[in-house]
Structure 1
Amino acid sequence: MTLAIFEARAAYIKKIRGGLILGVVVFAASMLGILTRVEGSFAAFWPANPIVLGIMIRFPQLSSLRTWIAAFAGYMAADLLAGGSYTVALWLSCANLVGVLVGFLLFQRLPDTDRSLKRPLSIVWLFTICLISAAVSALAGAGVGHAMLGRHFTAGLAFWFTTELVNSIILLPVILTTPTAKRTLLHITELTKTRWDAKTFLPVLALLGLMCTSMMVGRPGSFAYPIPALLWCAMTYGLFATTILTLCFSIWAISAISAGILPFLMGDDPLMSMMSQRLAIALIALGPLTVASINTMKDELLRRLEYSVNHDFLTQALSRGALMKSANDLLARNDETNGFFCVLMLDIDNFKAINDKYGHAAGDCVLVAFSDVVAGELGSDDLFGRLGGEEFKLVFTTHNPGDAKMAAENIRSKTETLILRTGDGTIPNITVSGGLVIRLPMCREPLDNLFAIADKCLYQAKSAGKNRIVTSPS
């Protein structure tokens, strides 16, 4: 009971802390947006809503009445601190929150792959939900501009809708695709091992070059010059990197046009022209996001295909070809460190009799259970493959030959204790025989010879009565 109370209290404190953090984030993002607010109008840049929506989508466990109240309090505090009246602050906060809530509920209906933008169709869903969320928020809040700021309702509605939609399209993908801390550390580790060359930086250099060219040309439409480089970046870099580059491009284009560095054809209504160019830039951003999403899906499909080719479908052990290739690589690395190189040949005893008596489905259960036993003994660099039928091979290195013998014996003894129940009854006496060969550090016996020696040791184990490991140093 005490432990249950402690866990419940810890979960409660975690939710309270999450709500407080979200409230602070909303307050800070709202204050940033208020700085872009022109007197008598709405903010030109409002990052709070896409940030809150992205956090809620990434961490749906945060969604609770307390958390939403904390977000509402963050909106309210920012508006009141900026000098707004209580009525205006209340109206604006409710409008912002209802748009975020609608977006959150719609995103919750999508699978994880779409919420993380890993399919081309995900970008369509992203745009659709951002469109609906922006429309709901604009309808709820545009009346403030008409009733209290003296602006025409239609103009306020269009300005709010466009600003909300643009902010969501350029900011939300960054939040949805940000890798976790664990994956970030993994990526950093991989990057330190990567050999960089000029080709890696060419796409981003091309992007920077075309952005500079756009400003030097300074003609209407020149803001679109970097689009080919953006697409090149999307085809070269990952999804998250593409969202960052797209965000940078969008902010640069909007800022440069607003500052007059990049001219834009203006109509009779400057406000509508500004909203049109911002919406155009946001829609342009969907292009590289779609390309990056397609590449992400392609890479995932190739990864799955490679895994299915290199692994046995039933036991998830390496296939024969993949085992041979990986074993040769492991042997080459071991020759540099002069460790003990070990090959363990394993064969489930009387497997044909199990198939004949209990059926092939029961035989498959035996194979899976045995593979799980072996997997429990594997190290991070150890190789485990299925050669066919009930024959398996384990290839690994060690600094102590006694550890290799102990691992082989553990596999044998744990297999012996397996109890599997099927529809036709319990399968008793599941045992395995093995042949272990340990190549000494200074020995340079080739891999094929080691496999042949392991096969002979396995044959000796079978001939000696099965359910045993025979070891032979190379």
Structure 2
Amino acid sequence: MSSLAPPLLSGHAVPGMTTLRRFVLVAALVAGGAMIGLLSRHAFSVAFWPANAVLVGAMLRKPLLFRPSGWAGAFAGFLTTDLVFDRNVELSAFFALANTAGTLTATLALRRLDPADLRLERVHSVLRILAGLIPGCCVAALIGAVLVVVEFHGSAAQTLLTWPASELVNYLVVLPVLLTLRHPDAQPPRIAEPPLWPAGALALSCVAAVQFDGPGSIMFPMPALLLCALTYPVAITAVLTMLLGTGCLVTIGLGMVAIGQDMAIPRLVLSVRIAVAFLVLVPLTISSAMAVQDALLRQLRDAADHDGLTGLLNRRAFETRLQERLAQHLPPGGGLALLWLDLDHFKAINDRHGHPAGDAVLCAVADTLRGVCGPGELCGRLGGEEFALLLSAPDRAAAHRAAERLRAAIGAQRVDWHGTTIHATASIGACHLTRLPADAAALLRRLDEAMYRAKRGGRNRIEWLDAPGAARAA
């Protein structure tokens, strides 16, 4: 069954996973979730049941668990936990079968979704996940209806009405957190520090819901939760909705918060759980849509800041970031090497080999510049065949070595163009800064002049600039 889909979310397999280890791991996860559910049960049913969502989340995050031994472990986890709570074997096996069959159906449906949907990174991701969960809830409800009729002589129609709603709300409360949880090895996105006051507003609205109890109090936190969805990333919104949804299910189900409803009446339980489902569903959908918008804005910003041919920073973005760096205080021993370079005889390359060949040379030079730049350093294409770099150089000697390595690397570079070898050299205007320049714009103009002096002096050379805080000309 594992061939149905590739690894969906983390893509990280568990090394050395044996059949027994897989069985025990899944059984332990399921038993832990089921224990929480059975501890929160009340007269009519459990108030909160995270076990199914934990199982589905684990199967999606770690596809290597999706094996017969993993599902056998799931059944064993459900069965064992029921037996601990003094249910007979037949009844426990029936419940375990319903939960295992439901989670297997939900997992199979969700494995068909795009990985971006499972990470809640598309506009309709939450609705697609909801659609994938419904078949699993219905399968579990069908088996549960047989159980209710055979063992308790109850109503199959009532079971088919209440069981799917209970399953669905527990999935919606827990599963998004598991799906959006980043892998420890993943590089976290660079985002601004989110403000705390929307979460504070949510906490205050929860206090108000407890103080002013009644059927409508369950929706008191909705405005603050929507504000959180507009403010925070999807992962944080998922955690907040889980905390709020869990709190609602447990406190209302156990009678800790009075909402004026008899929680022993199935249709009232159904009404409350549908309300909690919407309380969770709406903010997650909005947060997912905001994530898509933010990703598109990042793409637009990236396209606006980078040269379309080489992928380096364009002139505007390079000069903006350079100004930001030059506005910062240089730490002791934290000098900078600023290099302005222009390829020699580049027009001749275009005239002789054509503009596509010239583009290939520009891309090769850009790759060389990227190889020179380290974290926090800048490289950009200023236009045409002109480039610039800002490198860390604690002293003049380090700046000279970096500039000479760059000049030599460009001169040694060879581009194979349809059997013809093309190479280019660069003339470089350079300076070493040990303190901030008083006039950055004037410094850049003088660097440009130094670059042209290097061309007039014979090309393929470096002209060092006299500047405030810069090394003396070489």
Shared fold (TM-score, shorter chain, > 0.5): yes
Q: 1:372 aligns with which of 367, 370, 383?
A: 367
| Structure 2 CA distance for aligned equivalents of residues 10 and 252 of structure 1 | 33
Q: Which residue is equivalent to 2:26?
A: 22
| Local SS of the residue matching 1:151 | coil
Q: Deviations over 1:240-289 (max 9, x none)?
A: 2222222222233333433163324569x811211221122212321111
Q: Which residue is equivalent to 1:308?
A: 303
The unaligned stretches of length 5 or more in structure 2 are 1-12, 466-470
AA at the equivalent of 1:461: A
Q: Deviations over 1:285-306 (max 9, x none)?
A: 2111122122222222221111
The 8 Å contact of residues 326 and 436 in structure 2, kept in 1 or not, is answered as: no
Q: Give the 3 Å change call, closer, same or farther, for CA 362–136 of structure 1 in structure 2.
A: farther
Aligned-pair Cα RMSD in Å: 3.0
Q: Which residue is equivalent to 1:35?
A: 39
* Aligned: 1:467 with 2:460: yes
Q: 2:257 aligns with which of 233, 257, 261?
A: 261
| Local SS of the residue matching 2:391 | strand
- Offset of residue 368 of structure 1: 1.9
The 8 Å contact of residues 134 and 168 in structure 2, kept in 1 or not, is answered as: yes
Q: Which residue is equivalent to 2:16?
A: 12
Q: 1:102 aligns with which of 101, 105, 108?
A: 105
Q: Which residue is equivalent to 1:448?
A: 441
* Aligned: 1:278 with 2:273: yes
| Structure 2 CA distance for aligned equivalents of residues 207 and 43 of structure 1 | 26
- Offset of residue 337 of structure 1: 4.3
AA at the equivalent of 1:108: R
| Structure 2 CA distance for aligned equivalents of residues 229 and 295 of structure 1 | 16
- Offset of residue 49 of structure 1: 1.0
| Structure 1 CA distance for aligned equivalents of residues 148 and 356 of structure 2 | 70
The 8 Å contact of residues 48 and 246 in structure 2, kept in 1 or not, is answered as: no
Q: Deviations over 1:339-359 (max 9, x none)?
A: 323211122233223333333
- Offset of residue 85 of structure 1: 4.0
The 8 Å contact of residues 257 and 264 in structure 1, kept in 2 or not, is answered as: no
- Offset of residue 23 of structure 1: 2.8
| Local SS of the residue matching 1:346 | strand
- Offset of residue 120 of structure 1: 2.6
* Aligned: 1:181 with 2:184: yes
Q: Which residue is equivalent to 1:438?
A: 432
The 8 Å contact of residues 145 and 151 in structure 1, kept in 2 or not, is answered as: yes
Q: 2:56 aligns with which of 53, 56, 70?
A: 53
Q: Deviations over 1:94-129 (max 9, x none)?
A: 332232222222222222221111223112112211
Q: Give the 3 Å change call, closer, same or farther, for CA 319–47 of structure 1 in structure 2.
A: same
Q: Which residue is equivalent to 1:425?
A: 419
TM-score by length of 2: 0.85
The unaligned stretches of length 5 or more in structure 1 are 1-8
Q: Which residue is equivalent to 1:224?
A: 219
AA at the equivalent of 2:290: N
- Offset of residue 47 of structure 1: 0.9
Q: Give the 3 Å change call, closer, same or farther, for CA 369–76 of structure 1 in structure 2.
A: farther
AA at the equivalent of 1:57: L
| Local SS of the residue matching 2:313 | coil
| Structure 2 CA distance for aligned equivalents of residues 38 and 442 of structure 1 | 70
TM-score by length of 1: 0.85
| Local SS of the residue matching 2:309 | coil
| Structure 1 CA distance for aligned equivalents of residues 436 and 200 of structure 2 | 51
Alignment of 1:130-145 (within 5 A): 130-145=133-148
Q: Give the 3 Å change call, closer, same or farther, for CA 185–352 of structure 1 in structure 2.
A: closer
The 8 Å contact of residues 319 and 387 in structure 1, kept in 2 or not, is answered as: yes
Q: Deviations over 1:122-165 (max 9, x none)?
A: 12112211222211222234322222344332333333212111
- Offset of residue 469 of structure 1: 3.2
Q: 2:165 aligns with which of 139, 149, 162?
A: 162
| Structure 2 CA distance for aligned equivalents of residues 342 and 247 of structure 1 | 50
Q: Give the 3 Å change call, closer, same or farther, for CA 47–358 of structure 1 in structure 2.
A: same
